[in-house]
Amino acid sequence: MKCFHYLKDKTRNRAQRSAPILKDETSFSISEDVSGQKKVIKSSGSANSPRGIVQLYEEKGGKLRVFKYAELKEATNDFTRLRKIGEGGFGCVYKGSIKKIDDDKGGDHVVVAIKKLNRDGFQGHKQWVAEVQFLGVVDHPNLVKLIGYCAVDGERGIQRLLVYEFMSNKSLEDHLFRNSYAPLQWQTRLQIMLGAAQGLAYLHEELEAQVIFRDFKTSNILLDADFNPKLSDFGLAREGPTEGNTHVSTAVMGTNGYAAPEYIDTGHLTAKSDVWSFGIVLYEILSGRRSLDRSRPKEDQKLLDWVRRHPIDSKKFGIIIDPRLEAQYSLTDARKIARLADSCLLKSAKDRPKMSQVVETLKQILQDSSEGSPSRKSFERVEDETEELTEKSKSTKVSESSKRRLDQLAKLSEHVGGFSKKGFMIMHRAKVS
Ligand SMILES: Nc1ncnc2c1ncn2[C@@H]1O[C@H](COP(=O)(O)OP(=O)(O)OP(=O)(O)O)[C@@H](O)[C@H]1O
Ligand SMILES: [Mg+2]
């Protein structure tokens, strides 16, 4: 899904519109001299104020590697299409292999992802700088690691590249919405929710300078070999409001379907805008549906409109759960997560929880979930589903897919004792009607 760039002030002239309000944006740039030394020029904030990202970058950014263009060209076999693993608004992403520089381990190679800016211009450069600056400062297991970057201003134009740790399971978007990937298991989904929440909580609450991610969505949640989630794409990230301010004023940027309504209306950005986006992603993980899907009938295109027609406490709620999960999830946990999502999606931003509170709630859900036995969870689902089916069966036949699912459930139930018998019996009745 592509980013949108929406300027509320429609009275501004064309030149102003194409150059988003620079005085509101952090002013800095990173330059590289001939020896490959990088330095930050121009920083913001006074000596007495808390340190902002630029000052933090001066202290911590030195760990980033500066690559020569030729090195990355070689690493990707001249950016061959065969090495391309993705493409977004910034440019193409390639799989590559670079030499390690650990002094005493010389010679070994490491697999990386290399993102190459494919458009000239101010916005792309600005996003590249933001990515280097924020990722040069942050350090958390749920944020993707930036290994280094390359910046060349030559006769043939500018080259801007970023080199990341390679995430072998690609993005959450791929796994949720593409049928070529196996469905994500329920427990994996819960772990991903928790990890992503921890990444956001770190950005909002644990750094010296608050960071607002501004583009939280499934394609920016990458998954490592063990399906641990890591947030990527800091191109739109912003520093939170300084002391005494309630928000940051910005040109509205983000992705359709994820941005908080008050942010779209006013351009006032707060950490609670990210909390809204998190609520949307929770519903995407529960339902396996995109926040905005133009291929569906009009009334179902917006995920939120659709889930709101299936209230949490009603029998209809089960319908919103991703059918690819089959019976393998807990309806009780799903309801708890939907309630959490609803709190993130409250109209009034200040009523939404902080991400640290979201983390605590998710930890509790995970703990309760691991304490419950898998068989109990299956039957919890069976009972609910069969209530729906018995109602339906008064007038309609059970569909083929329901039959398949019920057969699967019947197999599962063979191992279970008496306490869930009611669900089991109803299931068989539904099956034969
Ligand atoms: N570090 C990485 N390791 C492995 N694959 C990656 C990595 N970074 C990106 N990718 C792949 O490249 C794809 C494109 O990523 P990119 O961030 O450029 O675009 P996007 O998130 O799809 O869209 P947008 O430009 O709106 O953020 C990702 O969905 C993912 O599959
Ligand atoms: Mg992305």
Locate the domains of the chain by residue range: 25-165, 172-378, 383-432
Q: What are phi and psi of 179, to 5 degrees?
A: -70, -15
Candidates 215, 233, 322, 333; catalytic one: 215
In the three-class reduction of DSSP (H, G, I as helix; E, B as strand; rest coil), residue 153 is classed as strand
Q: 78: exposed, middle or buried (C-beta count within 10 Å: 0-12, 13-18, 19+)?
A: exposed
The closest-lying atom of ligand 1 relative to the alpha carbon of residue 87 is: 14
The answer to whether residues 89 and 3 touch, using CB atoms and an 8 Å cutoff, is yes
Run of H or E including 194: helix 186-201
Least confident window among 78-87, 154-163, 405-414: 405-414
Indicate the pLDDT class of residue 369, thresholds 50, 70 and 90: confident
The rounded distance, in Å, linking the Cα atoms of 66 and 151 is 8
In this prediction, residue 252 carries a pLDDT of 86
CA distance 213 to 170: 20
| Angle between helical axes of 421-432 and 374-393 (0-180°, round to 10) | 40
Kindly indicate the confidence band of residue 254, based on its pLDDT and cuts at 50, 70 and 90: confident
CATH number of 172-378, picked from 3.20.20.70, 1.10.510.10, 1.10.150.120, 3.40.50.800: 1.10.510.10
Flag whether 116 is marked binding. yes
CA–CA dist 198, 382 (Å, integer)? 32
pLDDT exceeding 70 applies to what percent of the chain?
Answer: 72
Q: From the alpha carbon of 91, which atom of ligand 1 is closest?
A: 18
Confidence band of 63 (pLDDT split at 50, 70, 90): confident
User: Who lines ligand 1 at CB under 6 A?
Assistant: 2-3, 85-90, 93, 113, 115, 144, 164, 166-167, 170-171, 173-174, 219-220, 222, 232-233, 255
pLDDT digits (tens, 9 = 90+) for 135-179: 999 999 999 999 999 999 877 778 999 999 999 999 999 999 999
Coil vs helix vs strand at 217? coil
pLDDT at 37: 42
Sign of CA dihedral 210, 285, 346, 7: positive
- Are 337 and 286 in contact by the 8 Å Cβ rule? The answer is yes
Region label for 143, one of left (φ > 0), alpha (ψ between -120 and 50) or beta (otherwise): beta
Q: Note the pLDDT of residue 372.
A: 67
Q: Lowest mean pLDDT of 51-65, 212-226, 309-323, name the range.
A: 51-65
- Is 342 designated active site? no
Q: Which atom of ligand 1 is nearest to the CA of 93?
A: 12
**pLDDT band at residue 220 using 50, 70 and 90 as cut-offs:** very high
DSSP secondary structure letter of residue 345? T
What confidence tens digit (pLDDT) does each residue in 97-141 have? 998 876 555 568 999 999 999 866 677 888 999 999 999 999 999
CATH superfamily of 25-165: Phosphorylase Kinase; domain 1 (3.30.200.20)
Q: Over 70: is that where the pLDDT of 268 sits?
A: yes
